[in-house]
Amino acid sequence: MSVTSVTGGAGGKRKQPSLAQLRAFAAVAEHLHFRDAAAAIGMSQPALSGAVSSLEETLGVTLLERTTRKVLLSPAGERLAVRAKAVLDEVGALLEEAEAVRAPFTGVLRLGVIPTVAPYLLPTVLRLVHERYPDLDLQVHEEQTASLVEGLNSGRLDLLLLAVPLGVPGVVELPLFDEDFVLVTPMDHWLGGREGIPREALKELNLLLLDEGHCLRDQALDICREAGREDAPVTTTAAGLSTLVQLVAGGLGCTLLPRTALKLETARSSQLLTGYFADPAPTRRVALAMRVGAARSAEYEELAGALRSVMGGLPVRVVSSGE
């Protein structure tokens, strides 16, 4: 899969590198070791060395500094390694999209999920994919929102499952459902087990939140501001909801949980009570998100519809695609 020459303007024809040469160079640039690079791409070491030498000849630059002990990238090699990886990534994306066109719901689908959604929705997602799309190779990546959006925009990820709105240009949101937040308290708390709690009650609570970077933290802070609380309500934070709930059980304060997380997280302790807000309760919306113009957009929209159809058993309000 190589092109040996192209018209090069005043100089006539100029050679172009082959994909095999670019793969060999990219592997060496990553591993800085010929044996490890050869093993990584399934090529013999002499063939790998020859491919890199041929690439240097084709480009007319020295890419590597070879010594008896190690391999280093030359200044030109450092610059061109980035280009080579970008070319290979684009070729990989082209092949994936061609495969998707030939046979929908086959090949790899790289799904990014936020930590406050993954443990509670992935069982439903994975069951649906297993039963309805058995030829789809679903690969799940759990990351915070900012990292997921970066991955989507860079092409590292294909589809996201997260809380919206994102407000990010070039990203299309496919809404799935809305869910209420509930208040989780220690056993002896005056709001424990109550219904119809006014949002204004949040102004007086010692509220425990997730660390910075979690969108759930930002949503909780927004809810507090809407309730009229101006100061930051948090003195203790946690990296995950499980830890947060254990802190509540230990009497350090209260926290807000999305309804989908409530059953799993509160089952970890008998020292917790749940309080429910008066209507309209604070909510969050969960959606799929894809790039504008994604080649597999029709598949992603179908997947969103399939997910809506199987979420009736969850404590959520399923929304239509137009909402």
Burial class for 4, CB neighbours closer than 10 Å (0-12, 13-18, 19+): exposed
Residues 158 and 108 placed together within one structural domain of the fold: yes
Tens place of pLDDT for every residue, the chain, 323 residues?
A: 444 444 444 455 678 899 999 999 999 999 888 888 999 999 998 999 999 999 999 999 999 987 767 789 999 999 999 999 999 988 988 887 777 666 778 888 999 999 999 999 999 999 999 999 999 999 999 999 999 999 999 889 999 999 999 989 999 999 999 999 999 999 999 998 899 999 888 888 888 888 877 878 888 888 888 877 776 666 667 888 898 899 999 988 889 999 999 999 988 888 999 999 999 999 999 999 999 988 889 999 999 999 999 998 899 999 986 66
Backbone region of residue 196 per phi and psi (left: phi > 0; alpha: psi in -120 to 50; beta: other values): left
Residue 213 resides in a domain: yes
Residues 222 and 186 placed together within one structural domain of the fold: yes
For residue 34, the one-letter residue type is: F
> What pTM was estimated for this model as a whole?
0.69
- Measured between alpha carbons, how far is 314 from 259 in angstroms, rounded to an integer? 9
Name the residue range of residue 111's domain: 101-177+285-318
- Closest to 274 in 3D by CA, of 156, 195, 157, 217: 195
Residue 6 resides in a domain: no
Residues 185 and 255 placed together within one structural domain of the fold: yes
Residues 171 and 184 placed together within one structural domain of the fold: no
Residues 154 and 289 placed together within one structural domain of the fold: yes
- Output b/e per residue, 254-274; b: 16+ Cβ within 10 A: bbbbbbbbbeebbeeeebbbb
Is the previous residue joined to 280 through a cis bond, with omega within 30 degrees of 0?
yes
Quote the number of domains for the chain: 3
Residues 188 and 267 placed together within one structural domain of the fold: yes
Question: Cβ distance 244 to 238 under 8 Å?
Answer: yes
Residue 202 resides in a domain: yes
Residues 34 and 62 placed together within one structural domain of the fold: yes
Residues 112 and 65 placed together within one structural domain of the fold: no
Residue 4 resides in a domain: no
What CATH number does the domain containing 291 carry? 3.40.190.10
Burial class for 128, CB neighbours closer than 10 Å (0-12, 13-18, 19+): middle
- Measured between alpha carbons, how far is 5 from 67 in angstroms, rounded to an integer? 32
Residue 48 resides in a domain: yes
126-130: long-range contacts, CB 8 A cutoff, minimum separation 24:
127/310, 128/306, 128/307, 128/310
Residue 1 resides in a domain: no
Phi, psi of 57 (to 5 degrees): -65, -40
> Strands 209-210 and 237-238: what pairing?
parallel
- Measured between alpha carbons, how far is 205 from 210 in angstroms, rounded to an integer? 16
